[in-house]
Amino acid sequence: MKKAASCLSLAALAALAASCASYEAAPIDLPAETAAWRERSAAAAGTRAALSFADAKTIGLILSPELNRARAQLAKSRDVEKESGWWEDPSLSLSVKRVLNTGAQPWAYSPGFALTVPVTGLPALAEEAAAHYAEADFWTLAQAETDFSAALAETWTDYAVAEKKREIIDAYLKKLLEEKTRLEKLCAAGEVSAAELQKENDRFNATAGEKRDVEMTLAALRAEIAQKIGLAPETAAALKFSADLPRDVPAPVPSPTAEQLAALPKIRASLAAYDASETALKTEIRRQYPELSLSPSYEVDGNDEFADSLTLGVGFSLPLWNRNRLGVASAKGDREIARTETLLLWQDQFHALRRLEREQEIAQTHCRAQAERSRGFAERTKKIYAEIDAGETSPAALSEAAQQNFSAALDYWNALGDYLKARIRILAMTVESAPPETAAARER
């Protein structure tokens, strides 16, 4: 019987050991990770010859490194939430006593069992705190998705403006080359001075330099977009970005209301973090009070079964002078810090909104002024072309007008890009709820 009991005890211990978590090494294989990254990028790009903004946003919401980092943090918080609230594990003990100067059987055995009963409710508070932290990480991910979409839209706008400027520069360079060739012939015939020809050459060289700068800007923006959306450079290099700009100056976007600002994911994340600090303070206050410890034991006397005894031990701490004063003081300070940070973040939204409203207003005024200026120079250039055909003006006047028209066109597209980006920043603050991508992920 005793042998069977021993085998049963060993089997129980083996089962407990098998149920414990085990360590599995997960080394990073850089070549394999790189190959998988390129494969994911190629699969995301598919058979597209050109990548639109909507396509880039869809790919980025899946592959973006920053978003995946936030998702990893959320996954960790949810795992912690799922495993929170457990009681402390019980403990088993075995005491062996040898009685000296006694009969034939000097040994006595006392198996024991100890269990702490959380009468203060600490496991429930731990589960509540973990839920608040998981909620904060959820809204942090939602804010990261909003920030990603806005940042990608701004970079895409910069790329579209640079593409438009390159088109204008290419067209202007073509005209400059034709004009330079014509002036060279006129200079050789003595009809145009060398100074006028040199001025045209300088204008051509300066414009060629502008084209080089724009092409470098385009290359940098392509690399930035590829990095933002998580595509491998090789995949991004094979894609053409389809970036368009509106023909006219769009209307300004309305400012978000206070209710919409309160719905911002960053505000919700901060409020959830504050709730977690509240729960942490309640936890530290509960730690002042004693937990109930039960420790029953049974002593087996080897000589006389009627001498066996059963003991029940009950224990608890006395909150006399310590009373977890340090933990309570630290938790109170953390709660006050979380409260201050939440209120400051809330106030910052109003300052940011006022700044963005002013930026949008200034950018819109400047954009409309540049549009009028560009139209004026375009009409003037057409008029000078007509005067040239009638022999009423000189080629130098045409070159000067074309230069002014070219500069005005570049200034307009720069101004339009600034205005569009100002609108994007205000739209990023107008969030009714979590983005659909995050909400769907939470439901799953």
DSSP sequence for 154-206: HHHHHHHHHHHHHHHHHHHHHHHHHHHHHHHHHHHTTSS-HHHHHHHHHHHHH
Q: Quick check: 30 pLDDT over 50? A: yes
Strand, coil or helix: what is 287?
A: coil
Q: Name the β-bridge partners of 111.
A: 94
pLDDT digits (tens, 9 = 90+) for 232-256: 998 888 888 998 899 889 999 999 9
Which residue, chain included where needed, has tokens 């795992």? 79
Res 39: pLDDT: 93
Q: Quick check: 308 pLDDT over 80? A: no
Q: Model confidence at 444, in pLDDT bands (50, 70, 90)?
A: very low
Instruction: For residues 196-201, give the mean pLDDT.
Output: 84
Which residue, chain included where needed, has tokens 């600034």? 418
Q: Model confidence at 259, in pLDDT bands (50, 70, 90)?
A: very high
Res 1: pLDDT: 41
Instruction: For residues 252-266, give the mean pLDDT.
Output: 94
Rounded CA-CA distance 306/302 in Å is 10
Q: Burial code of 271-305, b = ≥16 C-beta within 10 A, e = fewer?
A: bbbbbbbbbbbbbbbbbeeebeeebebebebbeee
Instruction: For residues 403-425, give the mean pLDDT.
Output: 94
Cβ atoms of residues 419 and 356 within 8 Å: no
Instruction: For residues 72-80, give the mean pLDDT.
Output: 95
Cβ atoms of residues 33 and 68 within 8 Å: no
Cα–Cα distances (Å) from 352 to 158, 257, 358, 374, 429, in that order, read 22, 13, 10, 32, 9
Q: Quick check: 436 pLDDT over 50? A: no
* pLDDT over 70, % of the chain: 88
Better pLDDT: 154 or 311: 154
Which one, of 61, 56, 123, lies nearest residue 88 by Cα?
A: 123
Q: Model confidence at 301, in pLDDT bands (50, 70, 90)?
A: low
Q: Quick check: 437 pLDDT over 50? A: no
Res 434: pLDDT: 43
Instruction: For residues 255-270, give the mean pLDDT.
Output: 95
Better pLDDT: 189 or 325: 325
Which residue, chain included where needed, has tokens 């980092």? 69
Q: Quick check: 283 pLDDT over 80? A: yes
Residue ranges of the domains in the chain? 47-86+121-288+325-443
**Out of 11-15, 194-198, 242-246, 359-363, least confident range:** 11-15
Q: Quick check: 231 pLDDT over 80? A: yes
Which one, of 147, 167, 163, 165, lies nearest residue 241 by Cα?
A: 163
Instruction: For residues 402-407, give the mean pLDDT.
Output: 89
Instruction: For residues 426-442, give the mean pLDDT.
Output: 60
Mean pLDDT of the chain: 86
Q: Model confidence at 80, in pLDDT bands (50, 70, 90)?
A: very high
The DSSP line for 84-102 is -SPPPPPEEEEEEEE-SS-
Res 55: pLDDT: 93
pLDDT digits (tens, 9 = 90+) for 344-376: 999 999 999 999 999 999 999 999 999 999 989
How many beta carbons lie within 10 A of that of residue 131, not counting itself?
Answer: 20
In single-letter form, the type of residue at position 339 comes to R
Fold classification of 47-86+121-288+325-443 is Outer membrane efflux proteins (OEP) (1.20.1600)
Res 195: pLDDT: 83
Q: Quick check: 137 pLDDT over 60? A: yes
Q: Model confidence at 18, in pLDDT bands (50, 70, 90)?
A: low
Instruction: For residues 117-139, give the mean pLDDT.
Output: 93
Res 111: pLDDT: 85
Which one, of 309, 285, 426, lies nearest residue 364 by Cα?
A: 426
